[in-house]
Amino acid sequence: MSFFEDDEDRTEEEERVTETRRRSRRRQPRERQPRERKPKEKKTRERKPRERKPRGGGPTMGQSPLVRVLIILAAVVILILLVSLGVKGCLNSKKVGEYKDYFNSIDGIIKDSDDIGNQLSDMFMKPDESVRQSLEGKMSDFLAAQDQILERAKAVEAPDQFKKVNEWFVASMQVRDRGLRGLQPAMLNALEARDNQAGAAQVSQEMLILLTSDVAYDEFFYQPAQQVLKDEDITEIKVPQAKFLKDPALASQQTAVSVLDKLKGGTAQVTGLHGVALVGVKVQPSGMAMATDSDNNLKASDSLTFQVEIENQGEATENDVPVSLTLTAPGRPTPQKVDGTIPTIAPNERKTIELTGLAADAGTQPALLQAHVGPVPGEANLDNNGGEYKIVFS
């Protein structure tokens, strides 16, 4: 056998073995061996930033930092404005609430006080027997009620913007209290007097005080308070108005005469000329006549005595002629007053009455003494019924 033949035999043998292995593998499933995976090499490549397409053709946030800064600033400004408006709104709401509470208190006090004035006005408008019988009790009730109203007025806490004008509100209530306090005895005395004229003058004076309360309230409280609300642009609050007497004519002496006449059931009118006059005032015990055109030097005392001389210048005898002295002295801010009565005085007759009880301290500033006589029923001329005297006490 040659070399080539031997080689061919080996080749055929190998092919048979190979074929046999193939067949065997087809009949039996092969167990797969896990293949070792070679780690992949990471390929690094430089990423380019993606370009964002602009919307609407305008610059983007990324492209314009200045725009972003401006937007942030605008947002901050808007936030500050909103916070400021919110705080201002809260403060304004609180202030309006405080004002409403204040004027609600004022309104309640004014209505209660005005109700007293309405009842009093009705009594003067329709004076009859029922009014006459209940007059004293009614006047006492009015005064007691106004005393309580005055205390309520003093207790009101006014906001800072109204503290000054609130003093005038309280003052107007004090004037009403003062008027009612003087009207009560004036009415009762007038009903007991023989004639209506003298009593009517005093009643009218007290009624004018009550009327003055409305003037003080309107001029020094109502109008200034309205102006404050207008300046602060507050339109939802209204300042209460006040009206004590229904008609100002109720404070006239003529009305008082008519009221007294009806309450008494009618009185005869006074006829003829009537009138008294102040002749002069003398100091006792010295007897020095007081001068009206110069200072009068007197020694200070705890009990001064004066003699007041009057003259009946009318055509009829006058009875129960009132005489009074009022002394306003430095160091004693409250005026002192003493009263007296001359029981009767005939036409052209002069009479003197002695009044004591006034007191004064020494000082450099002059005091003022006021003397007054009458009026008597039917008296028309009142120019000579009083006099004033300046006194320097040492």
DSSP 361-387: ---SSPEEEEEEE-PPTT----TTSEE
User: At a CB cut-off of 8 Å and minimum separation 6, what does 280 contact?
Assistant: 289, 290, 309, 387
- pLDDT per residue, tens digit, the chain (394 aa), is 444 455 555 666 666 766 666 665 555 555 555 555 555 555 555 555 555 555 545 544 445 777 777 787 777 777 676 655 554 555 567 789 999 999 999 999 999 999 999 999 999 998 888 888 889 899 999 999 999 999 999 999 999 999 999 999 999 999 999 999 999 999 988 888 777 788 888 999 999 999 999 999 999 999 999 999 999 999 989 999 999 999 999 999 888 988 988 888 754 444 457 889 989 998 888 888 888 888 888 888 878 888 899 999 887 778 888 999 888 877 776 888 889 998 888 888 899 998 888 888 887 788 888 889 988 877 778 888 888 888 888 8
Strand 386-393, strand 296-298: pairing: parallel
User: At a CB cut-off of 8 Å and minimum separation 6, what does 121 contact?
Assistant: 245, 246, 247, 250
Burial class (CB in 10 A: 0-12, 13-18, 19+), 116: buried
pLDDT recorded at residue 68: 76
Distances from the Cα of 346 to the Cα of 45, 312, 340, angstroms:
140, 7, 18
CA–CA separation, 132 vs 140, rounded Å? 14
pLDDT recorded at residue 8: 55
Burial class (CB in 10 A: 0-12, 13-18, 19+), 212: middle
Token pair for 161: 């913007």
pLDDT digits (tens, 9 = 90+) for 143-187: 999 999 999 999 999 999 999 999 999 999 999 999 999 999 999
pLDDT recorded at residue 268: 42
Query: Is there a contact between 183 and 239 (Cβ–Cβ < 8 Å)?
Result: no
Question: What string of DSSP letters covers 128-167?
Answer: -HHHHHHHHHHHHHHHHHHHHHHHHHHH----GGGHHHHH
CA–CA separation, 317 vs 339, rounded Å? 21
pLDDT recorded at residue 118: 96
pLDDT recorded at residue 102: 95
pLDDT recorded at residue 130: 85
Among candidate residues 319, 354, 356, 320, the one with its CA nearest the CA of residue 337: 356
pTM of the model: 0.49
CATH number corresponding to 276-393: 2.60.40.10
Q: Can you give the residue ranges of every domain in the chain?
A: 87-263, 276-393
320: part of which helix (H) or strand (E)?
strand 318-329
Strand 350-360, strand 367-373: pairing: unpaired
pLDDT digits (tens, 9 = 90+) for 72-126: 777 777 767 665 555 455 556 778 999 999 999 999 999 999 999 999 999 999 8
pLDDT recorded at residue 10: 60
Could you give the angle at the alpha carbon of 100 between the alpha carbons of 95 and 102, nearest 5°?
A: 95
